[in-house]
Structure 1
Amino acid sequence: MTSAPHPGPGPAGPPPMEPEVMLRQVVCLADDIRGRAASVAEQVRALPGALDLAGVESVVIVGNGDSDHAARAVEMAFRSLAGVDCRPVSALPFTHYRKPAASPARVLTVAISVSGGSPLVVTSAEQARAEGGAVVALTANAASPLARSAYGTVLLDLPGQEPSPGVRTYQASLLGALLLAIALGQARGHLDRAAAEMLREELGALADAIEATVDESVRRTRQLADRIAHAPVLTLLGSGPSHGSALYGAAKQVETAAVFAVGQDLEEWCHVERFAGPSDLPVFVLAPAGRSSGPALRVAQRAADLGRRLVAVAPADRLDGFPAWAALPVHGQVREEFSPLLYHLFAAPLACHLAQSLGRVPFAAGRPGHAPAVPVRPATPATVKEEGR
């Protein structure tokens, strides 16, 4: 879930955030992995035996906002590393439209809320537990309503965390969920002990790749932001785990810079959004090595053929032919299940630089009383004719 925004400026509240908070957040990510991966893994190992992870046959991951994006980003990891069916479900559909499981004891509900107070996520956990299902909370607040609603809690606390659109908290949610997927795979016998330990070591070893990718992203997104700041909409595309990363990346542009941005699946963009104009709309294609690599390259070519301002987020050795402003390299080798830890890293610095280019601050446009940068004229017959609408 996105960190709570500051109140608006005025005598009763502190001044608004500055966009530079996004840079401070993103440069902490490598050290967060170095400092927290082992302790989070220990918490996951220490989850109570009453959860009976060995008997779990399916997983439902519930969240809102960033937490929902994280759920979609780790779905593949639960399917492949734990060997279970996995469904990410945002909290409102979970609480209002879900049919209770026929065998709730075999369903693990993973409820994600960094604050631990997201009302519908808490209700989701309470419903799942009341039905007899196992519930694990991923939260930064051990005393929160969500933690009290779960059988077990994985604490995602971060030292020195400051209010901001979620960046460090998003990585912490991904890390907790991925480590839970590994533990579940081990408990079910889908992974042996050696394989599980190897996967945990892989996660910890990603810190260097995160650091290198962040360093380059901070430099490259400054020029990119100047080129696309005034586009009417940004579109971010990815499939599999990268669909979650695309949704998250779009959310950061909205929250930080008040830029309208959308995340979409690669194939769905081909069916719908590719028909939208103007022809030079910026399109970001997330293309990690893995199952969606080929489709991502084909969609990128189609976007380029349509005249879109194509931006590729891809392994550093696969960006030949892209101009520097349109290439966002991802460093290091990573399995697709863990790729969400690397393929969201461009989003925070891009959001910061867009906000700086446009003279905006995080969350401002969503506050009551905030004046839009460009006055909006009501649509009257006269203005419709004048503007050719």
Structure 2
Amino acid sequence: MTSRTYTLEEVDRQIRALPSDLPTLAPAARAGAAGAARTLGDARHLTLLGSGDSLYAAQAALPVFVAGGVGAQAMSATEFLRRATRARPDELTAVVGISASGGNPSVLAAVAAARRSGRPTVAVTGTPAGALASACDAAVVVDPGPSAPAPGIRTYQASLLALLHLAHAVAGTDGPAELDAVAEAQRRSTALARAAAPAVARLLAPTPVVHVVAEASVLPTARFLGAKLSETAGVPALVAELEDWWHVHRFGHQARHSVLFLIPPGPDRDAALECARRTAARRPLVVVADAADGEALALGAATVPLTGAVPEALRPLADSVVAGPVAMALARELGRLPFAYQ
């Protein structure tokens, strides 16, 4: 058993802090990213490394790197370590290690391997004095401040914000300019999620494994949501892309149990809606969708509305706020505390 004390009150505190964290942390993210870009120089290919929330943040930020003309990929630190023994030094130009605590052993080992092969390294971390910042050529330090032990909520947002700024800095473009709109969307979506979460929790509570289904571009946010369900409420969560759900995982899922569909606005919304419609013919759904998307919300036995006009590149910051309220309500419904099984 761990000696750390986890509470739902701390989860709630972190959820409440997210909108105010955005403008507070943006200057550090911008300055750190600019410094890191100078260190990287002409490097135009980046490998983003992390584990858990850090990896999900890398996956969520990846389209912004690509849109800026930066060759980038995201992978787990352990996968990189396996590949590093076989790759020529010029195959992966620079490495970005991501760890909010700065102490993830696999990320530290991956960064060390990258440096041995002559690759530039950048740390994305919340701990300025941590081992990761010291081990890299440059660091983007975005520290949301002290908190009691809890599933990563503020730290996930801090890492994602740092990576979005790094993507712009390396591409030589202006950083995210609409964070005030994102913060307002977070406030409104969080309020709606809090109101909806008890009904969602009652629907999900009997489900032994919660399936979270989303189209490919939204999978990082879906993975973050699944992680918070597991960490906060002790519920196994399986995240599946639309085709994987329909062609594989639904056959191992009892029809009386509910499925959670993430259907935010975006270019692939219609594909997610069609899959949700087919699924709803046999199973109860929890639907997370835009508050104005009546067609999607009508499919849900319980719904979590998202609200606020946010640029597509910043949607992960806005959409991820629903994870905390839903996970917290499910923990209360089941009478559990975060990381209770550990």
TM over 0.5: yes
Query: Partners in 2 of 1:284 and 1:275 — Cα distance?
Result: 16
Q: Which residue of 2 aligns with 1:313?
A: 288
TM-superposition CA deviations, 1:253-304 (whole Å, max 9, x none): 1111111111122222122112123113322222222232122112111211
Where structure 1 has 5 or more consecutive residues not aligned to the other structure, the ranges are 1-6, 368-389
Q: Which residue of 1 aligns with 2:193?
A: 217
Larger radius of gyration: 1
Task: Report how many aligned residue pairs link the two structures.
Answer: 340
The partner residue of 2:114 within 118, 121, 128 is 128
- Residue 31 in structure 1 maps to residue 20 in structure 2: yes
SS of 1:200's equivalent in the other structure is: coil
SS of 1:230's equivalent in the other structure is: coil
| Structure 2 residue identity aligned to 1:142 | P
| Structure 2 residue identity aligned to 1:234 | V
SS of 1:117's equivalent in the other structure is: coil
The aligned runs of 1:147-226 (5 Å cut-off) are 147-186=133-172, 191=173, 196=174, 199-226=175-202
Deviates more, 1:239-248 or 1:321-330: 321-330
The aligned runs of 1:219-234 (5 Å cut-off) are 219-234=195-210
Q: Which residue of 1 aligns with 2:257?
A: 281
SS of 1:314's equivalent in the other structure is: strand
- The answer to whether the 8 Å contact 2:194/2:326 transfers is yes
- The answer to whether the 8 Å contact 2:89/2:118 transfers is no
SS of 2:8's equivalent in the other structure is: coil
| Structure 2 residue identity aligned to 1:77 | V
**Shift of residue 111 of structure 1?**
0.8
1:240–1:200 CA distance, 2 compared to 1 (3 A): same
The partner residue of 1:45 within 31, 34, 58 is 34
- The answer to whether the 8 Å contact 1:74/1:241 transfers is no
- Residue 88 in structure 1 maps to residue 74 in structure 2: yes
SS of 2:28's equivalent in the other structure is: helix
**Shift of residue 57 of structure 1?**
2.7
Where structure 2 has 5 or more consecutive residues not aligned to the other structure, the ranges are none
**Shift of residue 203 of structure 1?**
3.1
- Residue 326 in structure 1 maps to residue 312 in structure 2: no
| Structure 2 residue identity aligned to 1:135 | T
**Shift of residue 182 of structure 1?**
1.1
1:69–1:108 CA distance, 2 compared to 1 (3 A): same
Query: What is the aligned-residue RMSD (CA, Å)?
Result: 1.9
Q: Give every structure 1 segment of 4 or more consecutive aligned residues whose post-TM-superposition deviation is greater than 3 Å.
A: none
- The answer to whether the 8 Å contact 1:37/1:204 transfers is no
Query: Partners in 1 of 2:236 and 2:113 — Cα distance?
Result: 35
TM-superposition CA deviations, 1:341-363 (whole Å, max 9, x none): 12221111111111111111111
Query: Partners in 1 of 2:244 and 2:253 — Cα distance?
Result: 16
**Shift of residue 50 of structure 1?**
3.2
SS of 2:321's equivalent in the other structure is: coil
TM-superposition CA deviations, 1:127-173 (whole Å, max 9, x none): 11221222111111112221112111011211342210000000111
**Shift of residue 101 of structure 1?**
4.5
| Structure 1 residue identity aligned to 2:266 | G
The aligned runs of 1:110-121 (5 Å cut-off) are 110-121=96-107
**Shift of residue 90 of structure 1?**
0.5
**Shift of residue 100 of structure 1?**
2.3
Q: Which residue of 1 aligns with 2:11?
A: 22
